[in-house]
Structure 1
Amino acid sequence: MRRLWHFAQNVLGILFRHPILGVSVIPILPDGQIVLVRRRDNGKWALPGGMVDWGEDLPTTLRRELAEETGLELVTTQRLVGIYSAPDRDPRIHSICVVVAAEVRGTMQIEDTLEISEVKGFDRDALPVGHLSHDHDRQLQDFLNGVTTVA
């Protein structure tokens, strides 16, 4: 399966030669906890998010991905945390990720059980920083430091 995925990545890269656009959201619960998801593919904690579907705008993608991966509803976007574009930031493909912090509400429940194995709220002093998937350590640290990054 891994070899097939590697082949597909190469074919897509040859055909399109453009990065894929994705989003990540830093979901903040009313009590201030930050919600992370555990990915099935690598077992690491990550920010909820995913690729923008054809015909979708960024707000729609943020709401859809948040709901699919956490069961939560986006109440309001707080701020743009950054845009991350390093070619190796996602081990699967070259993707550009727009990251926003958002107030969320609802009950945590995974809808996308193929991608996500667990969803959990963390106090800021208990976040598993240093052990997150992709470049989510940097994204979360930029948020915690109050900076907006274009990288």
Structure 2
Amino acid sequence: MNVLAFFAAAVQSTRSLWRIGQTVLGIIFRHPITGTSIIPILPDGRIVLIRRRDDGRWALPGGMVDWGEDIPTTVHRELHEETGLNLVKIQRLVGVYSSPDRDPRIHSICVVVEAEVDGTMEVQDTLEVMEIRAFSLNALPPEPMSHDHSRQLQDYLNGLTTLA
């Protein structure tokens, strides 16, 4: 078996294990997992996005709420873990997204907030994030975003507060 074939088999095996793990978690818990998405706004008004390593798409930073955390603590932690940026202030609630198919990995409920941020952008979690970039409102990436982040970002840009 050559190296490429071995790597392909390992990736397929990992995907199969993940699907099995998702099924087991769904059977055990039968409840959605709570997470956050953050719309980080730099002082100059640009929006910070990350490029996810798992699907190669642009996304909003964010992640799952850890046991014992509240949403503001998760926002602060995930923002720093994925972008290296500091949370200055949570500006507003953009929405709560709960569609069972919004995240291809699990059924999750996502609380989306706009956040004023500062600091230096630097990938902290290289297993999850391959790139960080700040975009002006008229130069957001045209490709589909990961999960339902295109909808979350569009709702934000339209000034909506969404319960979906």
- Shorter-chain TM-score: what band? over 0.9
Secondary structure of 1:140's partner? Answer: helix
TM-score, normalised by the number of residues in structure 2: 0.91
Secondary structure at the residue paired with 1:77?
strand
1:128 to partner: Cα distance = 1.5
Partner in structure 1 of residue 45 of structure 2: 32
Q: Equivalent residue of 1:32, what SS?
A: coil
Paired residues for 1:1-151 under 5 Å? 1-151=14-164
| Alpha-carbon distance between aligned partners in 2 of 1:103 and 1:52, rounded to the nearest angstrom | 20
Residue identity opposite 2:22 in structure 1: Q
Instruction: Flag structure 2 segments of 5+ consecutive residues without an equivalent.
Output: 1-13
Gaps of 5+ in 1: none
SS at match of 2:34: strand
Normalized per residue, the structure richer in helix is: 2
**TM-score normalised to structure 1 length:** 0.99
Does the aligned pair in 2 maintain the 1:130–1:137 contact within 8 Å? no
Number of residue equivalences: 151
From the superposition, tell whether residues 91 and 130 of structure 1 become closer, same or farther in structure 2 (CA, over 3 Å).
same
Identity across matched positions, percent: 71
Partner SS state of residue 113, structure 1 = coil
Distance 1:102 1:56 in 2: 18
- Alpha-carbon deviation of 1:75? 0.3
Provide the rounded CA distance (Å) in 2 between the counterparts of 1:129 and 1:58: 29
The answer to whether the 8 Å contact 1:129/1:137 transfers is no
**2:53 alignment partner AA:** R
Deviations 1:76-114 (A, max 9, x none): 111100000000000000000000001000000111000
Larger Rg belongs to: 2
Task: Give the drift of 1:130.
Answer: 4.9
Separation in 2 of the partners of 1:50 and 1:81?
16
Q: Which runs of structure 1 show a deviation greater than 4 angstroms over 4 or more consecutive aligned residues?
A: none
